[in-house]
Amino acid sequence: MGESLPKNKAIVIGAGFAGLSTAASLAQAGYHVTVLEKNDVAGGRARTFSAQGFTYDMGPSWYWMPDVFEQFFQKFGKTTADYYDLVRLDPSYQVLYGKGDTLELPASMAKLEALFEELEPGSSLKLRDFLKQAAYKYEVGINQLVYKPSRSLTEFVDLKLLVDVMRLDVFQSMAKHLRKFFKHPRLIQLMEFPILFLGALPENTPALYSLMNYADMSLGTWYPMGGMHKIVEGMVALAEELGVEMRLGEEVQKIDIQDGQITQLITNKGTYTAEVVVGAADYHHLETQLLPPAYRSYTDKYWDSRVMAPSSLIFYLGIDKKLTGLHHHNLFFDEDFGPHAQEIYTTPAWPKKPLFYVSVPSKTDASVAPAGMENVFILIPVAPDLTDTEETRERYYDMVMTRLEQITGQDVRSHVVYKRSYAHQDFIQDYHAFKGNAYGLANTLTQTAVLKPSLKSKKIKNLFYAGQLTVPGPGVPPSLISGQVVAAEVVKEFAPQKASLTH
């Protein structure tokens, strides 16, 4: 490295889950870390805001894979309980197919098996077998594969791992895999839902991702009291305990490069130098807007050909009464699941009859809404890169509210005392989100591991990347892992004076 760059100094761009995870991990390894975040609140898509006595989580609302969060904090001699109070939801969630036609997913495995058996005799034993395979995939996939930096295929040549990879069903689609076990359309829908919401059609998703079903059904759905932002607050507190300097409301506007390395970053408030830089903001934005063309790892054509996970149209509502027929998590599958799910991924157009999801955290947590009221979050998965107008948002608001009222048999609209919408334009404005994406890249076979954008710049010696557009992929737990993986790679290449990082 050039002598002019300060040793043991790292800059992380972006304070989402990946950025905070990177910052804490680098600080633990001996780096002086500064986080530069364009927004005034840390958390990235997991920011929070309050209005009229309601507190809203802006993005992620599902707490799955509790072990990933626990392992993260344990690396620093802490536990999640040091920062927030977790409760397990029961039922985990419910699916609404129509008026008087709902399915509640119980937290208890015995009750879950009974539910499967009721829909399809003999399916409880198949569920057991399916989850046993999924548990193996989770163990190998989440605890080994996703912690690999995926910079070269040689990482995967260990013989045991190769055998594991074959057993992981990487080359079989989720759709085919599921249909070997279950016939009933509702059971198949239930098993496909985590995949759909995380990024791709079951036909294009490797069956490896049945590990999501294991996370859903065996590990359970949890909630940090006070909201998902409590995790962010915990991570910020941890990072600051480790000496990380948080600079909020400070956006990187220019990156200077000499001799193939970043020499300085210029923000709206100042200039910074560091030995190493980790871009944990939108990868595409950093590459195309902040780097000179000669230093980009990927072409515009490459980016345009990526298969994106869905974007979202979100409504944050405050309701001045208690609602009936809704739990904390609710999936509205009242429209034909197959074709309408496919619309999101195959047509760059607004869906005709969207599936949607409703979260009512006030059912679990009284602190997020005034007494006697409900905090409601509605999310409609939609294709990325759509023209997003106020008129379109209103049309979808009316569409989903009509369905919500009809299915739950109550008047909701006239009780809305607070309303805010959020979609493509907001994702672009707040996060520089590529094509207005909400979740990053879809987990298709051709976008798995080494086939994702690399966590290390191909042209710049001291630039790395973390977050949902690189390995391991979209979702909160993968973003947490992404930060740890990239930090370990930085340490490997730039060995700070202190102890090295290991997983």
3-state secondary structure of 130: helix
Which amino acid appears at position 112 of this protein? L
- Does residue 196 surpass a pLDDT of 80? no
Least confident of 204-208, 212-216, 270-274, 435-439: 204-208
Please report the pLDDT score of residue 322 as a whole number: 98
**Structural element, H or E, at residue 276:** strand 276-279
Taking 50 as the threshold, does the pLDDT of residue 376 lie above it? yes
Q: pLDDT tens digits for 402-421?
A: 999 999 999 999 999 999 99
Task: Output the pLDDT for position 245.
Answer: 98
Helix (H) or strand (E) holding 402: helix 390-408
Closest CA to 213 of 64, 381, 66: 64
| Nearest C-alpha neighbor of 219 from the set 71, 368, 396 | 71
pLDDT category of residue 347 using cuts at 50, 70 and 90: confident
Is the pLDDT at 370 greater than 90? The verdict is: yes
* CATH class of the domain comprising 308-431: alpha beta
- Please give the pLDDT value at position 231: 98
SS3 content of the chain, % helix, strand, coil (to 5): 40, 20, 35
The three-state secondary structure class of 386 is coil
pLDDT at 75 over 50: yes
Which CATH number does 9-85+226-306+442-494 carry? 3.50.50.60
Residue 197 has pLDDT above 60, yes or no: yes
pLDDT bin (cut points 50, 70, 90) of residue 201 is: confident
Question: Is 308:474 a contact under the CB 8 Å cutoff?
Answer: no
pLDDT at 267: 98
Residue 161 has pLDDT above 90, yes or no: no
Angle formed by the axes of helices 159-167 and 123-143, to 10°? 150
**Dihedral angle sign, alpha carbons of residues 74, 43, 431, 62:** positive
Q: What is the mean pLDDT of residues 16-40?
A: 98
- Mean of pLDDT values over 90-112: 97
Q: How far apart are the two ends of the chain, measured CA to CA in Å?
A: 26
pLDDT value of position 168: 84
As a whole number, mean pLDDT of residues 127-154 equals 90
Task: Tell me the backbone φ, ψ of residue 45, rounded to 5 degrees.
Answer: -65, -15
Cα distances from 80 to residues 165, 230, 299, 348, in angstroms, run 31, 10, 41, 40
Residue 340 has pLDDT above 90, yes or no: no
* pLDDT score of 117 more than 70: yes
Asked whether 31 and 6 are in contact (CB, 8 A), the reply is no
Q: Quick one: pLDDT band at residue 166, thresholds 50, 70, 90?
A: confident
Token reading at 247: 């600079």
Q: Closest Cα partner for 13 from 43, 28, 35, 32?
A: 35
Residues 489, 477: Cα–Cα separation, whole Å: 19
- Express each pLDDT in 377-400 by its tens digit: 999 999 999 999 999 999 999 999
Q: In this structure, what is the dihedral angle of CA atoms 256, 261, 263, 265, given to the nearest 10 degrees?
A: 50
**Strand order of the sheet with strand 261-267?**
252-258, 261-267, 271-272
Quick one: pLDDT at residue 101?
A: 96
Q: What percent of the chain has pLDDT over 70?
A: 94
Q: Mean pLDDT, to the nearest integer, of 207-214?
A: 93
Q: Is the pLDDT of residue 307 over 60?
A: yes
Q: How confident is the model at residue 502 (pLDDT cuts 50, 70, 90)?
A: very low
Residue 503 has pLDDT above 50, yes or no: no
What's the whole-number mean pLDDT along residues 415-436? 98
**Can you give the pLDDT at residue 367?**
98
Q: What are the C-alpha distances in Å from 290 to residues 134, 425, 483, 492, 496?
A: 41, 20, 21, 26, 27
**pLDDT reported for residue 498:** 52
Out of 107-111, 217-221, 277-281, 499-503, pick the least confident.
499-503
Give the pTM. 0.96
pLDDT mean over 186-202: 85
What is the rounded (10 degree) CA torsion for 202, 203, 204, 209? 40
Residue 143, pLDDT score: 85
Q: What is the pLDDT of residue 378?
A: 98
Residue 286's closest CA among 2, 61, 485, 18?
A: 18
Using an 8 Å Cβ cutoff, are 303 and 284 in contact?
yes
Q: How confident is the model at residue 497 (pLDDT cuts 50, 70, 90)?
A: low
Q: What percent of the chain has pLDDT over 90?
A: 81
Q: What is the pLDDT of residues 448-463, one digit of tens each?
A: 888 999 999 999 999 9
Q: Residue 3: pLDDT above 80?
A: no
Domain locations in the chain? Answer: 9-85+226-306+442-494, 110-219, 308-431
Q: How far apart are CA 295 and CA 313, in angstroms?
A: 34
Q: What is the Cβ-side half-sphere exposure of residue 154, based on CA atoms within 13 angstroms?
A: 2
For residue 173, what is the DSSP state? B
Edge-to-edge order in the sheet of strand 9-13? 245-248, 32-37, 9-13, 276-279, 463-465
Rounded to the nearest integer, the mean pLDDT of the chain is 93
CA 355 to CA 214: how far, in whole Å? Answer: 23
- Counting Cα atoms < 13 Å in the Cβ hemisphere of 503 gives 20
62 vs 449, which has greater pLDDT?
62
pLDDT confidence of residue 142: 87
Stronger pLDDT, 425 or 202, i.e. the higher one:
425
pLDDT at 2 over 60: no
Over residues 230-247, the mean pLDDT reads 98
Rounded-to-integer distance, Cα 435 and Cα 283, Å: 12
What Cα–Cα distance (Å) separates residue 73 from each residue in 11, 25, 58, 235? 21, 10, 23, 8
